[in-house]
């Protein structure tokens, strides 16, 4: 594969995988900040698709999406979870979840929703998360909270379930 055309054809033949990145924010009481999208049912975390065609990394994507969606521009903290989510009607997804830290009252007052994508936001206690967040996302968030509580390393996941040693 020394010719440019052959290499381009090889790259074009490779499978595609989507990447998404989100930020997990909490308040002083441990409640998690969720956002309500206007383009689908249910709740989510601030975040979205990584713009890899533009060279954006997952960490950069989490920061950009958070700034766009809720108006808080801050560097994400440590990587809490990486989740491989198989595709159903779309390519597989690798989801990165970063620690956004604890938001104070001034931070909460500074939240400004991106009206083109979001209807509302709220702080949700841990015991209500599974009922608000769909499938793998709900399991991912709970695993990330466990990692934060225990000081564990990044959680490797498949479809919202921890894997590995």
Domain extent for 44: 17-162
Residue 101 belongs to some domain of the structure: yes
The whole-number pLDDT of residue 4 equals 65
Residue 115 belongs to some domain of the structure: yes
**Model pLDDT for residues 82-125, shown as the tens digit of each residue:** 999 998 888 899 999 999 999 999 999 999 999 999 999 999 99
Residue 7 belongs to some domain of the structure: no
pTM: 0.91
Residue 1 belongs to some domain of the structure: no
Instruction: Work out how many domains the chain is built from and give that number.
Output: 1
The whole-number pLDDT of residue 122 equals 97
Alpha helices in 71-134 (DSSP H): 105-110, 126-132
- In the chain, how many H helices and how many E strands? 5, 8
Residue 10 belongs to some domain of the structure: no
Residue 108 belongs to some domain of the structure: yes
What is the enclosing helix (H) or strand (E) of 138?
A: helix 135-150
Residue segments in the chain with a per-residue pLDDT below the cut of 70: 1-5, 165
Residue 123 belongs to some domain of the structure: yes
The enclosing domain of 138 has a CATH number of 3.90.79.10
The whole-number pLDDT of residue 61 equals 97
Sequence-ordered list of residues with C-beta below 8 angstroms from that of 165, at least 6 positions apart, any chain: none
């Amino acid at each position: 594969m020394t010719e440019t055309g052959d290499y381009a054809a090889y790259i074009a033949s490779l499978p595609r995988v989507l990447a998404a990145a989100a930020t997990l924010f909490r308040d002083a009481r441990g409640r998690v900040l969720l956002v309500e999208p206007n383009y689908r049912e249910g709740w989510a975390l601030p975040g979205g698709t990584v713009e890899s065609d533009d060279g954006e990394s997952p960490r950069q994507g989490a920061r950009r999406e958070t700034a766009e969606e809720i108006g808080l521009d801050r560097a994400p903290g440590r990587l809490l979870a990486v989740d491989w989510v198989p595709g159903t009607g779309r390519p597989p997804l690798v989801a990165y979840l970063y620690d956004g830290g604890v938001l104070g009252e001034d931070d909460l007052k500074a939240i400004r929703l991106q009206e083109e994508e979001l209807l509302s936001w709220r702080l949700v206690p841990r015991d209500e998360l599974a009922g608000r967040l769909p499938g793998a996302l709900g399991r991912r968030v709970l695993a990330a909270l466990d990692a934060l509580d225990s000081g564990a390393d990044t959680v490797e996941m498949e479809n919202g379930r921890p894997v590995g040693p």
